[in-house]
Amino acid sequence: MGRSVLICGLYMPDYHGISGMEALSKLADETWVMNDWYQFTPWLNRPARIWNIHAAPHTHISDPSRFPWDWKEWYRKSIANGARVIVTELIEGIDIRCQELLDMEGLLRDCIDYALGCQAAIMICQAAREGFKRINVIGARFHENEYVAHIQAMMHAIVFARSKGVEVILPEGREGEWALSRFSDAKSMDPYWLESKKNSEQLKVKVTA
């Protein structure tokens, strides 16, 4: 049957009825999480990979109203349970031996830019490139603010994975919802790590101005 991976986003209604890490671990061989998963699903404490491919990840700041503790300490706890951290630049204060640089050149070579416009889509593409045979995506809806523009990236990433013979599973009705979205056929966007870098640089200008 081949290896399987569960990609966990931050749309909480998708987790309704899931009792914890043990229940999730039955859905796939590996669990991959977003950079700030601990603010939303702190019970998901044994991910195989933590994805933080934002520009300047060392400046990442958690929402203190939701999570007042040191986010790097949460990374360290997960690393102690076997997690690896996927990055585009190394994070200070995290064991360098547990960080893995994203294969940006390989992704750009293998995938059209449409499929690299958000972190979850890149996770799907990378799983397909690594030979996973089933990808289960939960917690990804992109229905608010700037995130709706990520729908096209997700749809193209799913097409890419399926072209490799990978089974991609989404919550019931999600793919049809995306197909009807006016963002599903939007124009091409920069790869997420470049877009994140531009946003980081713009923020830096605002802060120093």
pLDDT in tens, 156-165: 899 999 999 9
Q: Which domain holds residue 13?
A: 4-208
Distance in angstroms (rounded) separating the CA atoms of residues 196 and 185: 22
205 pLDDT tier (thresholds 50, 70, 90)? very low
In what helix (H) or strand (E) does residue 7 lie, and over which residues does it extend? strand 4-8
- What is residue 111's predicted lDDT score, i.e. its pLDDT? 87
**What domain count does the chain have?**
1
Phi, psi values for residue 194, rounded to 5°: -75, -40
Tokens, residue 90? 């190394």
* 45-88 confidence digits (pLDDT tens): 899 999 998 876 655 556 666 666 778 888 999 999 999 999 98
pLDDT surpassing 80 at residue 196: no
Specify the 3-state DSSP secondary structure of 54: coil
- What is residue 150's predicted lDDT score, i.e. its pLDDT? 84
* 103-137 confidence digits (pLDDT tens): 989 998 998 777 888 899 999 999 999 999 999 99
The whole model's pTM is what?
Answer: 0.85
| Dihedral angle sign, alpha carbons of residues 165, 166, 171, 176 | negative
CATH code of the domain in which 20 resides: 3.90.1480
Distance in angstroms (rounded) separating the CA atoms of residues 38 and 84: 15
